[in-house]
């Protein structure tokens, strides 16, 4: 693979800061209340959800363009769950995809399935965590 862009960020832990190498991202991190924290910062699950939603929406756009289907009004919400998994923790993802009313159910399912094949986040998680695709 020819790498065309590399993002770099440094974190000081779940209860610290995350800063990108270019300084555009500079966030206070905190455990969410559900994990015993005060919730006064963002957390890795929120960051992962935002990245996955944006990436999947982009892949959906690419799938739509390839099929000559307008997906500009589509949106993707990623829900990232964390919980005990044996002696550590694991993640789950639900992607909630809202498609324009002009796309029928069968064509919508094909586009979402194609986007799931194209999206780098989907590729990275495939076989590692449960990802549920819900078309709303």
- What is the domain-level CATH number for residue 128? 3.30.300.20
pLDDT category at 58 given cuts 50, 70, 90 is very high
pLDDT for residue 88: 95
Distinct helix (H) and strand (E) counts, the chain:
3, 6
Give the gyration radius of the chain's Cα atoms.
17
- The verdict on 32 and 67 lying in the same domain is no
pLDDT for residue 10: 98
- The verdict on 75 and 60 lying in the same domain is yes
Give the global pTM.
0.95
- What is the domain-level CATH number for residue 16? 2.20.25.10
pLDDT for residue 121: 98
As for how many domains the chain has, the answer is 2
- The verdict on 79 and 28 lying in the same domain is no
List the one residue out of 121, 118, 131, 102 whose CA is nearest residue 63: 118
Domain of residue 120: give its range: 44-135
- The verdict on 15 and 3 lying in the same domain is yes
- The verdict on 17 and 33 lying in the same domain is yes
- The verdict on 36 and 63 lying in the same domain is no
């Amino acid at each position: 693979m020819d790498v065309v862009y590399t993002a770099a960020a440094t974190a000081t832990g779940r209860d610290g800061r995350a800063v990108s190498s270019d300084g555009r991202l500079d966030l206070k991190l905190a455990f969410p209340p559900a994990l015993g924290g005060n919730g006064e910062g963002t957390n890795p699950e929120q960051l992962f959800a935002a990245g996955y939603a944006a990436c999947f929406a982009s892949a959906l756009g690419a799938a739509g363009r390839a099929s000559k289907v307008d997906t500009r009004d589509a949106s993707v919400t990623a829900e990232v769950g964390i919980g005990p998994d044996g002696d550590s923790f694991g993640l789950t993802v639900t992607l909630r995809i809202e498609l324009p009313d002009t796309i029928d159910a069968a064509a919508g399912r094909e586009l979402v399935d194609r986007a799931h094949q194209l999206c780098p986040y989907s590729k990275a998680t495939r076989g590692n965590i449960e990802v549920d695709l819900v078309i709303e």
